[in-house]
A and B are shown apart, each in its own frame.
Chain A
Amino acid sequence: MTEQIAGKVREYIIINTSVDTLDDTLDIFDSGLVTSLFAIELMTFLEQQFAIKVTMNDLDMANFNSVDHITHFVEQKLQHGAA
């Protein structure tokens, strides 16, 4: 499950950036790999791909800044009923 989520997230970020590989621990925002403009697209991707809903309580950069963190966030959302 974890690798399935990570794989989809990793693939999505790679497609939308200029890299061929991606370290799952890399902070994609602080490293400059993506800009803040990517935040809404990433949020929409996560909501659509995993049928979750990002709400105000989820707004924490630690949830969105690396493949590892995003994967953990998605798993938590799915465990707690997605919404």
Chain B
Amino acid sequence: MIEQLAGAQQRAYAEFSSFAERYVAPFASQWEMEERISRDAIAQLAAAGYLGCMMPHELGGNGWNSLTYGLFIEALARASTSLSGLCNVHTMVLHTLLKWGTPQQQATWLRPMIRGELLGAFALTEPAAGSDIQGVSTQVAYAGDELVINGTKRWITFGGLADVFVVFGRLTDHDAAPIACLVEKDTPGLTIQPISQMLGFKASHLAELQFVDCRVPREQIIARPGFAFSYVAPYALEFGRICVAFTALGILHGCLKHCGEHVLTRKAFGTTLIEQSTIKAMITMMGVDYEAAGHLCISACHAKDAHLPNATEKIMIAKYFTSKAAHRHADTAVQILGARGCHEQHPVARYNRDSKTLEIIEGSNQIHEMILGNSFARKYRQH
């Protein structure tokens, strides 16, 4: 993949990889066991300017394009997918505010979030509503100058650590119009309950948010009621899918690194593993899928950075292909590594757990099939 990048991108990628190897990789297993990420690591991200992803320089952001962001996520996810998850949700909230926030909301939130003083999370999923966001049922009522929120959000990535949430719900009147608003973590009526013992992304501070007559000022509405599901959420989820695609790419890369080292040195039946045809086939498929996934991810970012309308579809294709490939080859990597790959603290064991999650989040891969299947049939039909 690296040879597809321009010189500046290659240097940025080397910088990100160095950061991840120094500040993330040595601690990732510990974080997973403790089901928490240290504040030190987040402070390091902030100090390096890595929490202002793709935000304009004039706001103090790093001014990256989406490809640079993707390369950063690839390097980070190889070391800790949980930490890449933090960047994901934080970035989605930043871009929601940059695109749809009022000037007052932007003035209040963007700079502290870019500096990493405040962390954001995306509160969309509910116990009975995941990929089908039309099922969201959290109630939002107008009450004078305030909104009153009642409902439950579940599986909220970094919900246990974030300072501010973008919360999605439906108005109690106005034809149940979808609405999004900002809610600070200490708002009375909001209770945050950590969720533990997840299969993957164990250090992602997953949480359930309970809203019981939770009141926020009406000025915290994002965009306009009626557009939360059709504009606000989909706009943010594009950034989320870029992150998931590159997280999966990082997992593929990590699998290749660990497996490459192992098959070139480990001997069985008098030869190294790579001399055995079944192992060659496994590594070939892993490497080819990594290269193919890299092309799809880079192509999606080029479309996004050129502001092309087909970026939405290209990003979905990249997320779909790469997350499936990552899970397939993380499974292969455990097989190749044998018993050591089954140890909870080995990176490929973590890749195996985390890659399953990637097939589910930011729109399950089945939702992607519903959309992409229709699109491909229409695009390539024979006239």
Contact = CB atoms under 8 A, between A and B. Distances in A.
Interface stretch (B182-190, B231-239, B348-356): B231-239
Contact of A40 (B101, B223, B312): B312
A67 B55 CA distance: 33
A36 B229 CA distance: 9
Nearest to A18: B378
B312 A41 contact: yes
Contacts of A43: 231
Contacts of B197: none
B230 interface: yes
Given A39-B234, A40-B231, A43-B231, A56 B308 contact: no
A59 interface: yes
A13 B227 CA distance: 21
A44 B312 CA distance: 9
Interface in A36-67: 36-37, 39-45, 47-48, 55-56, 59-61
Contact of B230 (A36, A44, A45): A36
Contacts of A47: 307
Contacts of A41: 309-310, 312-313
Interface in B183-234: 222-224, 226-227, 229-231, 234
A17 B378 CA distance: 8
Contacts, number: 48
Nearest to A48: B307
B309 A59 contact: no
A40 B234 contact: yes
A21 to B, nearest CB: 15
A18 B381 CA distance: 10
A40 B371 CA distance: 14
B342 interface: no
B308 A39 contact: no
B307 A44 contact: yes
B13 to A, nearest CB: 27
A43 to B, nearest CB: 7
Nearest to B102: A56
A23 B63 CA distance: 42
Interface string B37-79: 0000000000000000000000000000000000000000000
A40 B304 CA distance: 12
Given A39-B230, A56-B102, A56-B224, A44 B311 contact: yes
22 contacts: A12-B309, A17-B378, A37-B234, A40-B234, A40-B235, A41-B310, A41-B313, A43-B231, A44-B307, A44-B308, A44-B309, A44-B312, A47-B307, A48-B306, A56-B100, A56-B222, A56-B223, A56-B224, A59-B100, A59-B226, A59-B227, A60-B224
Q: Which 8 A-B pairs have the closest CB atoms?
A: A45-B309, A36-B230, A44-B309, A48-B307, A56-B223, A59-B227, A59-B224, A41-B309
Given A48-B306, A59-B223, 9 more contacts: A39-B230, A39-B231, A39-B234, A40-B234, A45-B309, A48-B307, A55-B99, A56-B100, A56-B223
Interface of B: 99-102, 222-224, 226-227, 229-231, 234-235, 238, 306-313, 371, 378
Interface of A: 12, 17-18, 36-37, 39-45, 47-48, 55-56, 59-61
